[in-house]
């Protein structure tokens, strides 16, 4: 009887934890995978804030996740950049966390915090990527 109860309890726990939605409104549901990538899409000409978004985000990804999560900067003025943007549905500057077919757009957070509060941007990046790994 005790073995049956344990199996039933474990089955219920697995079922209830199987599909927890992302806690951040406006983002896709997060799935777990080792294929997490961070993309920073930009144009050739960039302001100080644009440069800070790239620097702070790149440093955060490298510092927090090392080689497990690549940080890819993509120039939208180059042909390869245009192709990648089209593939991911991007039409302008963007900071994206991609896990398979799931995309989390943190562009606004990047531009709001890269220069004024880089620690907050690093925390946002960590908060989104850590559950995926």
What integer is the mean pLDDT of 68-87?
A: 95
pLDDT 10s digits, 12-22: 333 322 233 33
- Lowest mean pLDDT, pick from 33-42, 59-68, 78-87, 119-128: 33-42
Residue 15 lies in a domain: no
Question: Residue 34's pLDDT is what?
Answer: 61
Residue 3: pLDDT band (50, 70, 90) is very low
Range of the domain at 69: 38-132
Share of the chain above pLDDT 90, in %: 71
- Both tokens assigned to 119: 């620690």
In a domain, 117, yes or no: yes
Condensed to tens digits (0 to 9), the pLDDT of residues 18-74 reads 233 333 333 444 444 469 999 999 999 999 999 999 999 999 999 999 999 999 999
Is residue 46 exposed (0-12), middle (13-18) or buried (19+ Cβ within 10 Å)?
A: middle
The answer to whether position 32 is within a domain reads: no
Phi-psi region of 58 (alpha: psi -120 to 50; beta: other; left: phi over 0): alpha
Any domain includes 83: yes
Q: What is the CATH number of the domain that holds 77?
A: 3.40.30.10
Radius of gyration over every alpha carbon of the chain, rounded to an integer in angstroms = 18
Q: Indicate whether 101 belongs to any domain.
A: yes
pLDDT value, residue 101 = 86
Prediction pTM value: 0.72
Q: Per the structure, how many domains does the chain have?
A: 1
């Amino acid at each position: 009887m005790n073995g049956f109860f344990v199996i039933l309890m474990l089955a219920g726990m697995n079922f209830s934890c199987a599909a927890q939605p992302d806690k951040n409104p406006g983002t896709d549901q997060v799935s777990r995978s080792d294929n997490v990538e961070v993309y920073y899409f930009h144009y050739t000409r960039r302001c100080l804030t644009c440069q800070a978004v790239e620097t702070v985000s790149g440093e955060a990804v490298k510092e927090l996740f090392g080689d497990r999560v690549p940080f890819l900067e993509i120039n939208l003025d180059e042909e390869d950049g245009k192709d990648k943007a089209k593939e991911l549905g991007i039409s302008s500057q963007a900071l994206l966390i991609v896990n398979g077919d799931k995309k989390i757009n943190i562009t606004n957070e990047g531009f709001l915090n890269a220069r004024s509060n880089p620690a907050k941007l690093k925390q946002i990046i960590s908060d989104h990527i850590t559950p995926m790994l």
